[in-house]
Amino acid sequence: MINHVTIEEKVQETPTVFSMYFKWDMKVMPGQFVMVWVPGFSEVPMSLSSTGERKCLTVKVYGETTARLAALNTGDRIYLRGPYGKPFTLTEGKKLLIGGGSGMASMRPLIDDRATGIIASRNADELLFADHFKEGQAICVTEDGSKGMKGLAPDALDKLNLKEFDAIYVCGPERMMYAIFQKLKGKDLNVEFSLERSMKCGIGLCDSCSIDGFQVCRDGPTFHIKALEESREFGKTKLLSSGKRVYF
Amino acid sequence: MTADTKLGCRISENIKIQFSIMPVMRSLKTTAGGVSFENPLILASGILDENGYTIKRILEEGSGGAVTKSIGMEERDGYIPPVVVEHENYIINAMGLPNPGIENFGEEIKIARTAGKPIIGSIYAADPEGFLNLAEKMVDYGVQAIELNLSCPHVKGFGTEVGSDPVLVKEIVKTLKGSIDIPIWSKLSPNVTSIVEIGSAASDSDGIVLINTVRAMAIDIYARKPVLKNTYGGMSGSSIKPVGIRMVYEIKKELDLNIIGVGGIESAEDAIEYIMAGASAVQIGTAVWKYGRNIFSTINSGISKFMEDNGYENVSKMSGVAVQ
């Protein structure tokens, strides 16, 4: 069923990322996603970056459909269906959020005073939501070194005592998540990853987004590190839009 | 509540029932379309059957067999989303036959086969030669039967466009039956004037699969546009069950062929209704969307209980009993 909502506010977060705020009378949990349709173009899966009464979609422009979506303004209509998927398991305790690129969008609802963030991007301009963390609790990592540490998200892990955190949440490109997974696995840490695969139906039917027989759209997108430790596909193989298996 | 917790509740309820009443489990074994299954539920083509690991999981979680996604000669991406329209009682889909091409599908079948249950290879082509080439490959990959997609309602030049021509259908089935040693199933479309005419043309098949999706579409009144990128799609789900029941019944009554029923099955009662209309086994697809992969074990338990309560020794004793 398609829902129709109206944009109340638009905020430019980075040169290529925009947040669209709207009211939507629907219960959504952090980590869940919606399928956003841009009539005449395509439909894309997007996590909600705000899940209270006022919802938010944070759009990163990476193609024609997202460019159209990002070009919408206050008063314009958004077409969406959902929410879908398994949310993050919430914790009251101390948490670490690791976001690469636009990955921090799905974790923004988890940010509170007890949250530490590792925010990674290509350069200083594209760091997303670093200013939402309590002062001193945001670790920025940039590939070009234009702000914070020079390097990639996993590099920042070495500076932290990971045992301090009751939960660790990770969202970003699969290569980044796999590198983080390699560092965190087998250490008895409570880690959840939000996975991204080629998604088409969003409702657990088409098998496009499957990993190890689980559907990212339905059994995920959030997966506990324990489930991924048994995975034969995570970080290794994935299916293209046609279903052809390729190696990372 | 998460999907996992719901699944957990359902599993524990089932275990509780099994231990408290300790029913004598009736044999759910059945033979349909020349293939033996440990239970009469088969995963329908197009649903959760592109990735070998998914097929394997579905089989391990209770399905008696699985039909693969329809595979053609060439790799195809399928349509751009939206590819589904979701409604309370139905789904309209236009996936556009996405598939990696037959050369790339062997690995998925190899993974799926490790579950040790029958895999039926679905294929689509425009002519008898095309179907034959694909079927030979599927035989090499070790499938137990071939399902001919004569009914996809939304791709030009394939599916229904082939399957609504009785002469062509007869020629395709004849070509394959003459060259392929494993059973051949023909999946027919409800989008024809006379299902008996097409059923008759496909009557040399070892199994007739009825029905594929019903050609349909939806419009968003605010966008003032068709929702599916392809405009037209195929409707599945509980809303189409009466159409499927009618066609299974009609083919059983008029032609007495071996039938695998499919279309809108969500419960044991639905499956039994198809079986009583004349099916030897049934396929389940869209119900996975509403009830999850657990649907297979839930329906199997329900069929077993019905057979116990009503004195049926096996599935074949129920098949076609309503036909008069």
Tens digits of residue pLDDT in B64-119: 999 999 999 999 999 999 999 999 999 999 999 999 999 999 999 999 999 999 99
The count of C-alpha atoms lying within 13 angstroms of the C-alpha of B100, restricted to the half-sphere facing its C-beta, is: 21
A222 touches chain B (CB under 8 A): no
Give the gap in angstroms from C-alpha A21 to the nearest C-alpha of chain B.
Answer: 20
CB B279 within 8 A of CB B44: no
Q: How far apart are CA A188 and CA B231, in angstroms?
A: 50
Tens digits of residue pLDDT in B278-318: 999 999 999 999 999 999 999 999 999 999 999 999 999 99
- Interchain proximity A240–B91, CB inside 8 Å: no
Q: Look at residues B141, B208, B129 and name the one whose alpha carbon lies nearest to residue B175.
A: B129
Position B157 scores a pLDDT of: 86
- Interchain proximity A205–B223, CB inside 8 Å: no
Summary mean pLDDT of chain A: 96
Is beta strand B207-210 parallel, antiparallel or unpaired with respect to B259-262?
Answer: parallel
H/E stretch holding B253 reads helix B241-255
Position B11 scores a pLDDT of: 43
What secondary structure letter does DSSP report for A111? -
- Interchain proximity B98–A43, CB inside 8 Å: no
User: Which residues of B carry out catalysis?
Assistant: 152
Predicted confidence band of residue B24 (pLDDT cuts 50, 70, 90)? low
Q: How far apart are CA A27 and CA A34, in angstroms?
A: 12
CB A229 within 8 A of CB A186: yes
Q: Which of helix, strand or coil describes residue A181?
A: helix
For A2, the token pair is 């398609």
Q: How far apart are CA A64 and CA A60, in angstroms?
A: 11
CB A84 within 8 A of CB A218: yes
The β-bridge partners of B282 are B41, B261
Predicted confidence band of residue B153 (pLDDT cuts 50, 70, 90)? confident
What residues in A contact B53, CB-CB < 8 Å? 210-213, 232-233
Q: Is the ipTM of this complex over 0.90?
A: yes
CB A168 within 8 A of CB A189: yes
CB B258 within 8 A of CB B207: yes
What residues in B contact A245, CB-CB < 8 Å? 51, 100, 104, 107-108
pTM: 0.92
Q: Look at residues B247, B154, B148, B240 and name the one whose alpha carbon lies nearest to residue B194.
A: B247
What secondary structure letter does DSSP report for A142? E
CB count, 10 Å around CB of B175? 17
Work out the average pLDDT over B231-239: 97
Predicted confidence band of residue B152 (pLDDT cuts 50, 70, 90)? confident
Position A124 scores a pLDDT of: 96
Q: Which of B6, B51, B80, B154 to mutate to test the interface with A (most CBs of A within 10 A)?
A: B51
Least confident interval from A80-94, B6-20, B295-309: B6-20
Q: How far apart are CA A194 and CA A32, in angstroms?
A: 10
Q: Look at residues A80, A70, A125 and name the one whose alpha carbon lies nearest to residue A101.
A: A125
Q: Which amino acid is at A183?
A: K
Give the gap in angstroms from C-alpha A205 to the nearest C-alpha of chain B.
Answer: 5
Predicted confidence band of residue B154 (pLDDT cuts 50, 70, 90)? confident
Nearest C-alpha in A relative to B48:
A207
Torsion of CA B227, B231, B232, B237, to 10 degrees: -10
Report chain B's C-alpha Rg in angstroms.
19
Position A248 scores a pLDDT of: 85
Predicted confidence band of residue B25 (pLDDT cuts 50, 70, 90)? low
CB A5 within 8 A of CB A80: yes
- Interchain proximity B78–A200, CB inside 8 Å: yes
CB B275 within 8 A of CB B42: no
Predicted confidence band of residue B6 (pLDDT cuts 50, 70, 90)? very low
Least confident interval from A48-52, A76-80, B24-28, B119-123: B24-28
Residues 200-219 of chain A whose Cβ lies under 8 A from any Cβ of chain B? 200-208, 210-215, 218-219
- Interchain proximity B223–A240, CB inside 8 Å: no
Position B156 scores a pLDDT of: 86
pLDDT at B13 > cutoff 60 = no
Number of CB pairs, chain A paired with chain B, less than 8 A apart? 137
